[in-house]
């Protein structure tokens, strides 16, 4: 597997999660995340990206935690701590849960989103997995489109967006 292919896969996921996640959550009723306490001393670094050949999906959580024989992915986010996890972050955790199940044969019950002031557990429910697979199918469908529409009205999001220079739909 070439590094170019992996790079493209990561980019693909990042871009499309960014564009589509808001719509998907409304449609699928995704879990919002439970506030939890996590002990950072139990976090272990992940050495290499996880990869699923079937879906051509790859990703690397920031940390893994072992709890009761299960592996839990931890994703660390900087910046503002939201009242509830962002949709794109929920899908990112779902990708890691999916990849962990495929790689290690054990289904994580949840993943953890670590924001500066709060941690959330995002349950990896069958509904979330199904929404993720729908999203990936949508990604493949829209992969070559150049006219994907903006899915939000959040000026701040555009302001901090890494794609704003090339985006004809940016706000502000
Ligand atoms: S600039 Fe705004 S509309 Fe364009 S990709 Fe970024 S967040 Fe989306």
Separation of 14 CA from ligand 1 center, angstroms? 13
Q: Whose CA is nearest to atom 2 of ligand 1?
A: 158
Q: Whose CA is nearest to atom 4 of ligand 1?
A: 170
User: Residue 70 — pLDDT band, cuts 50, 70, 90?
Assistant: very high
Residue 5: CB within 6 Å of ligand 1?
A: no
Ligand 1 atom with the shortest distance to the CA of 150: 3
Q: Where are the domains of the chain?
A: 3-166
Q: Which residues contact 74 (CB under 8 A, 6 or more apart)?
A: 38, 43, 61, 62, 63, 64, 65, 111, 112, 114
Sequence-distant contacts of 11-15: CB under 8 A, at least 24 apart: 12/139, 12/143, 13/57, 13/59, 13/95, 13/139, 15/163
Residue 148: CB within 6 Å of ligand 1?
A: no
Residue 158: CB within 6 Å of ligand 1?
A: yes
Ligand 1 atom with the shortest distance to the CA of 19: 8
User: Residue 26 — pLDDT band, cuts 50, 70, 90?
Assistant: very low
User: Residue 46 — pLDDT band, cuts 50, 70, 90?
Assistant: confident
Q: Is the pLDDT of residue 1 over 50?
A: no
How far apart are the C-alpha atoms of 22 and 26, rounded to whole Å? 7
Residue 161: CB within 6 Å of ligand 1?
A: yes
Q: Which residue has the tokens 């999001």?
A: 157
Residue 155: CB within 6 Å of ligand 1?
A: no
Separation of 165 CA from ligand 1 center, angstroms? 9
Look up the pTM and report it.
Answer: 0.71
Q: What would the mean pLDDT of 53-66 be, rounded to a whole number?
A: 90
For residue range 142-158, list pLDDT tens digits in order.
767 767 778 788 888 88
CB atoms within 10 A of CB 121: 20
Contact 100, 73 (CB under 8 A): yes
Give me the pLDDT at residue 37, please.
78
Ligand 1 atom with the shortest distance to the CA of 158: 2
For residue range 78-99, list pLDDT tens digits in order.
988 988 888 888 999 999 999 9
């Amino acid at each position: 597997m070439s590094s170019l292919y992996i790079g493209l896969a990561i980019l693909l996921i990042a871009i499309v999660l960014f564009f589509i996640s808001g719509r998907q959550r409304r449609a699928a009723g995704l879990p919002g995340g439970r506030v939890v306490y996590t002990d950072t001393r139990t976090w272990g670094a992940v050495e290499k990206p996880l990869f699923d050949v079937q879906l051509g999906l790859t990703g690397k959580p920031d940390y893994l935690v072992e709890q009761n024989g299960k592996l839990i992915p931890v994703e660390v986010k900087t910046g503002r701590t939201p009242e509830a996890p962002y949709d794109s972050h929920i899908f990112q955790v779902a990708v890691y849960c999916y990849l962990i199940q495929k790689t290690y044969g054990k289904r994580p019950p949840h993943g953890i989103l670590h924001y500066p002031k709060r941690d959330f557990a995002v349950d990896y429910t069958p509904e979330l997995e199904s929404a993720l697979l729908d999203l990936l199918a949508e990604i493949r469908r829209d992969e070559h489109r150049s006219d994907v529409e903006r899915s939000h009205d959040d000026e701040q999001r555009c302001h901090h967006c890494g794609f704003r220079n090339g985006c004809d739909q940016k706000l502000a």
